[in-house]
A and B are shown apart, each in its own frame.
Chain A
Amino acid sequence: MICAMAMIGVAILHSATFTNPEEAGLPMRQATRFGVAFVVLLVTAMVPVRWWFWAAWPSYLATLILLVGVEFFGTTGGGAQRWLQIGPIGVQPSEFMKVTLTLALAAYYHKRWNDYSGGFLIHLPALGLILLPAALIFRQPDFGTTLALFASGGILIFLAGLWWRVIMAISVAAVASIPAIYFFVLQDYQRERVDTYLAQLTGQSVNVMDDGYQIEQAKIAIGSGGWTGKGYMEGTQSQLDYIPEQHTDFILTVLAEEFGFLVTSGVLVLWMLILGLGMAIALRAASLFARFAAAGAVATVAFYILFNVAMVLGLVPVVGVPLPLLSYGGTVMITTAACFGLVGAVHLGRKDPINTGA
C-alpha cells in the first residue's frame, strides 16, 4: 500500500515536471528531491511505530529548541526569519514541527486515554502543545505554517473527543475575533492580501499590479482551460509568465490551464483517495498513538492541499502554502514524505497496541 501511494506520487510528480517547463533545470532538481523524499518516506515507514512513540516527546522538544534557535540565530530569507544554518545545510524547523507536533499530540492522547477517560481539561495541555510552536512560527512570520499547525492540531483535538459545545463556543469566538486579528495581529503585507481577497470576492477592481493581479491571472488561466485544457505547453497564461510563482504555489494553474477540468479534478480525486486511504489506516490501527499519528499526518497534508487549491481558486486569501508533491520546493516535499511515511509505519505496525506499561 505504501508502494501504491508512492507510485501515485511519482505519477503526479511526473505531470508536475511535465507541465512545468519554466527554467530547464527545475524538473530535474525536483525529481532528485523526490528521490530523497522517497527515501525519507521509506525510512519513516520502516521504523516501527513503537519507536515513533518513544521518539515523540524528545523530537517535539528538540524541534521546539530549534525554533527558539531560529528566533535568535536564524537567517532571513524572503523577508522572514525561518532558516537555521547548521553547518552547510539550512533547515527550516517549522517544517519539522508539523510532524513532531502530530507525534507529540498523538503520544499525549495515547497516554491520557489509557490512564483516564473523558473530561474537558485534558485538552488544555494539548492546546498548549500547539500554541507554543505556533506562536514562535507566527513571529517568523510564517502565516501558512501557523495555520497548518492549528488545523492539524485542531483536528487531533477534535478527534480526541472535545465536547461539541466547546467546539461551538470556540467557533463563535473565532468568528468574533476576526476583526481583532485583522487589525492588531496581521502585518501590513498580510492585511493587504486579505483586502485584495475580499475585493476580488466581491468583484471589485483590484490593484492589478500586486496580489490581485496574481489571482486574476490565475483565474483566467484556470478558467480558460475548459474541459480538456489547451494541451501540454500550450497554456498561454502559463507560458507567458502571467502568473508569478506558477511553478511553486500556483502550480495548479498550469495543470488546470493545460490539462483542463477533467484532469485537474481527477488529480483532486486522487488526492482524496490517498487521504482516504490514510484515514482508513488510522482507523484500523490498534494503538491510540498510531491512530492519532496517522490521522494527524493525513490532516496536515489535507490542510495543505485544501488550502492551496482554495487559494489558487481565489476562495481564500493568498498565503504562501504550497501544493504537496506538485509544487517546486524541497521542504514541503520532505514534510509530505514524512507524513506519508508515518502513515506507512502505522500501517505496518497496526497490530502493535503499544502498552506503555502504565
Chain B
Amino acid sequence: MRGTRPVDAMFNRRAMIAAGGGAMLFGGLITRLFQLQIMEHERFEVAAAENGVRLDLAPPQRGRILDRFGRPLAAHRQAGRVSFVREQSDDIARLLSKLSDQIEISPEQQARLIRDSRRHASFQPTIVRSELSYEDFSRLSVLAPSLPGLQVEMAPTRSYPRGRDFAHVLGYVAKASETDLVRLSEGANAQERAAVRRLFKHPDMRTGRSGVERFAEEWLRGEAGFRKLETNAAGRIIREFDDPSLAPKPGRDLYLTVDAELQKFAIDRFGKESGAAVVLDIETGDILAFVSTPAFDPNDFVNGISSADYAVLRDDVEYSPLYHKAYDGTYPPGSTFKMVVAAAALEAGVIDPNERIYCPGHYRFGNNTWHCWKHRGHGSVNMHWAIKGSCDVYFYEIARRMGIEKIADISKRFGFGQRWELGLTGGRSGVVPNDEWKRATRGEPWYEGETLNVGIGQGQVSTSPLQLAVMSARIAAEGKVITPRIIGEGPRPESDIPFDAPLDPEFMKRMKAGMYGVTSEAGGTALRSGDLGLGGPRLAGKTGTSQVRRISAAERRSGILKGGAIDRRLRDHALFVAYAPHDDPKYAISVIVEHGEGGSKAAAPVARDIIAEALRLDARRTPAYTRTASLGGSGGAGGGGR
C-alpha cells in the first residue's frame, strides 16, 4: 500500500523535508552549544569562576523613619564587621583560632560558626561579629591580609538612635527567616520568589519584623542593584567599578507624626513605673507621643538578639517590656469611662443633668450591694458633681436606667470596641460588652447587675490607652470625629472605621465642664493636677482606677482597702485622661500607670507634666513633611500610599 497513492508520495516527500528542517534546527542548536561551550568557553569560565569582573547583589539602603520634625528615629550607620568566606580559606578552624587571639570567640562559638558556614553557599561570607569596636576593627584590618578568607569591612547597619523610646512603634528589623521569606514572596511567581530569596539571603539585608518597620516594608525597602567588582583569584576585591545603572535604589523615608522630644520626656517621666501614654493633636488626630514603658532596645534585634537576652525580655511578665501597652494593652477604663456613660444617659434621655441622685456610699440592687469609692457617700449630686467627684452611685443608677445596649452604642461612637489601624503591627479592639457579645463569648445572657459595673468602667468593658486618648480628644473637640494617625508621610494604612458618627456638641460641653471640675473646682478628684505650671492654661481631665482584682467582702470589713500591704501585681492600675488647655483644647492625653493604684495620685501628675511639655514644645506645630491627604474630619484617604 505504502507509496502507491500520490498522497503517500507527497507525504513522504514532505516528511523528509520536515525531518530535514528539524535536523537542521538541531544542527543549529548544537552549533550554538558549540559556540557557547567551546568557542566562548574561556569568557564564560572567567565569569563563572568570579575572576575578573563579577556582579554582587547590592542590597538597597533602607529608607529612614523620621519624627514629625525630621529627627531620625530609624537610620543607618556603618559598623565594623568581620566575616570569613569558606571557599577562600583552606583551614577555617585555624582561621578562627587565630581570630580568637584578637577578639573573644569561645570554642563553642567557633564550632557553631563552622556549622553555620556549611549551611549556605561556600562563596557567601559567614559573619563572625557585626559590631566591632574601632580598636578591634583596626587591629583585625591589619591581620586580614595574612589570613586568606578573612574579611574585615564596614557595612551599613540599621540603627535606632532613640533606642528604647520608639521600640514598640518602630518595631525592628532582623534577618529574614523562612517564615519571613514566605510572607515576603506571597503572591509572587517562581522567578520573583527566587529574586526575593536571593536578596534577603544577603548578609546585609534585613526585613521589618514588627511595628512600622514591618507595615511599611515595601515603602522603606527600595530596589536591589549590583556592585560591579574586580576580584583576584582568591576572591579578594581589587576594585569596584562605578556603574550608576546598576546601583541599588534606596528606599523612601517615612515620617511619623510623633515628636521625639515629647516621647522622650514622657518616657523619662514614667521613671521606673510601667505604663502607657498617648498624646493626640486634637485638630488632626496626629499621635504626638505613643509611649509604652518599659521598652526594649530595637538595636539589639538588628543583628540577632541572643536567646538569653530575649528570654529576659520575654519572661518579665510583671513589666512585659515586649508588649505595646498603649496599643495592644486593654484595661477596664474605670472612672474615665464615666463621661461615656453620662453622655449615653443624656442621649437616651433617662436623666436630666440637673436631677440629683442621693449617694449614701452604697447602692442596693437585687440582693447585692454596690459600693461607692467614697464610703461616707457624696450626698445629693447632679451630673456635674457626679463627674467631678466621680460618684459611683450616680453612675450605677443612670446605667441601670438606660441599660447596657445604650452604653454600648455610644461607646462605639467614642471609638471603643474597634481596632484603630495605624500602620503598626498589633493593636487590640478591647471589649464593649452587651447582650449579644456575652451570648457569643460566654453563651449566657447579660445580667442587669453587670450593667452597673460597666457604668463605672469596671467588669467586662476593656479599652486601650489609645482608645481613651481618642475619647478625650472627641470630648475636647466637642463631638467632632477625631481619627488617630501615626504615619505622616508614608504608606497609608487602609482603615475602615465603622463607627464615626459625631457626638452631640451640647452633651460634650457638659462633659468638658465636668472634666474641668475634676481638676479645678472644689470637690474635684484631681485638684492638684489642674495647674500646668505655665501661668495660665489649665488642664481638664478625669481620673480612673482599673481594678486588677475584686476586693473581697472580708477584706473590706478588715479595712485593707488600700494596697500598701498588697503585692504589687495585685494592685489596681491608675488612669487619667485629659486635654489642655481647657479653654482652647490642643492636646488630648491618656495615661495608665500599671499598679499605680489611684488615678489622681499616680496617673494625673504624669499626664499633667506630659501635656505641659507638649504645650511648651509646641509639639503640634507644622511638621517637616507636607500633608498629602485630607486630615481632621473625615480621616485620610488617598495620597502617597499603596
A interface, CB within 8 angstroms of B: 78-79, 113, 117, 155, 158-161, 205, 208-211, 214, 219-227, 236-237, 239-241, 244-245, 256-257, 260-261, 264-265, 268-269, 271-272, 275-276, 279, 282-286, 288, 291, 295, 299, 302, 306, 309-310, 313, 315, 353
Contact = CB atoms under 8 A, between A and B. Distances in A.
Given A208-B226, A279-B19, A283-B12, 4 more contacts: A241-B198, A261-B33, A291-B15, A313-B33
Nearest to A261: B37
B48 A265 contact: no
22 contacts: A79-B189, A113-B7, A161-B7, A205-B245, A208-B226, A222-B37, A223-B48, A226-B41, A240-B123, A241-B197, A245-B194, A256-B37, A261-B38, A268-B29, A272-B23, A272-B26, A283-B15, A291-B15, A295-B15, A299-B18, A309-B33, A315-B32
A229 B390 CA distance: 86
Contacts of A295: 15, 18
Contacts of A302: 22
Contacts of B43: 223
B554 interface: no
B47 interface: yes
Contacts of B2: 283-286
B33 A208 contact: no
Contacts of B5: 113
A313 B30 CA distance: 10
Nearest to A302: B22
Given A79-B189, A353-B1, A219 B36 contact: yes
Given A117-B7, A282-B15, A256 B33 contact: yes
B373 to A, nearest CB: 62
Interface string B184-212: 00000111001101100000000000000
A275 B48 CA distance: 34
Given A272-B23, A313-B36, A223 B7 contact: no
Given A224-B44, A306-B22, A268 B15 contact: no
B194 A268 contact: no
Contacts of B226: 208
Contacts of B561: none
B18 A155 contact: yes
Given A79-B189, A286-B2, A159 B22 contact: no
A223 B33 CA distance: 8
A288 B22 CA distance: 21
Given A226-B38, A244-B194, A161 B29 contact: no
A27 B99 CA distance: 42
A227 B38 contact: yes
A276 to B, nearest CB: 7
Nearest to A214: B191
Q: What 4 pairs between A and B have smallest CB-CB spacing?
A: A223-B44, A224-B48, A244-B194, A261-B37
Contacts of B29: 268, 306, 309-310, 313, 315
A309 B12 CA distance: 27
Given A208-B246, A209-B195, A240-B123, A224 B45 contact: yes
A315 B194 CA distance: 23
Contacts, number: 144
B26 A117 contact: no
A220 B41 CA distance: 9
Interface in B192-236: 194-195, 197-198, 224, 226
Contacts of A227: 37-38, 41
B34 A161 contact: no
B44 A222 contact: yes
Contacts of B190: 78, 244-245
Nearest to B36: A223
B15 A159 contact: yes
Name, among B15, B22, B48, B123, the residue most crowded by chain A CB atoms within 10 Å (CB to CB). B48
Name, among A222, A256, A271, A310, the residue most crowded by chain B CB atoms within 10 Å (CB to CB). A222
A173 B22 CA distance: 22
B32 A158 contact: no
B536 interface: no
B25 interface: yes
A240 to B, nearest CB: 5
B436 interface: no
B34 A265 contact: yes
Contacts of A299: 18
Given A256-B33, A261-B38, A265-B34, A224 B26 contact: no
Nearest to B194: A244
B10 A264 contact: no
Nearest to B32: A313
A213 B445 CA distance: 64
Contacts of B195: 209-210, 244
Contacts of B41: 223-227
Given A117-B6, A158-B14, A241-B198, A226 B45 contact: yes
Nearest to B10: A161
A302 B198 CA distance: 34
B23 to A, nearest CB: 7
Interface string B40-64: 1101110111000001000000000
Given A224-B41, A224-B44, A288 B26 contact: no
Nearest to A285: B2
A234 B144 CA distance: 29
Contacts of A161: 7, 10-11, 14
Contacts of B123: 240
A264 B121 CA distance: 26
Contacts of A155: 18
B194 A159 contact: no
Contacts of A244: 190-191, 194-195
A71 to B, nearest CB: 21
A291 B11 contact: yes
Contacts of A117: 6-7
A208 B55 CA distance: 9
Contacts of B48: 220-221, 223-224, 236-237, 257
Nearest to B40: A223
A174 to B, nearest CB: 16
Nearest to B87: A236
Nearest to B34: A261
Contacts of A309: 29, 33
Nearest to B224: A209
Nearest to A287: B1
B228 to A, nearest CB: 10
Nearest to B43: A223
Contacts of B22: 272, 275, 302, 306
Contacts of B34: 261, 265
A341 to B, nearest CB: 20
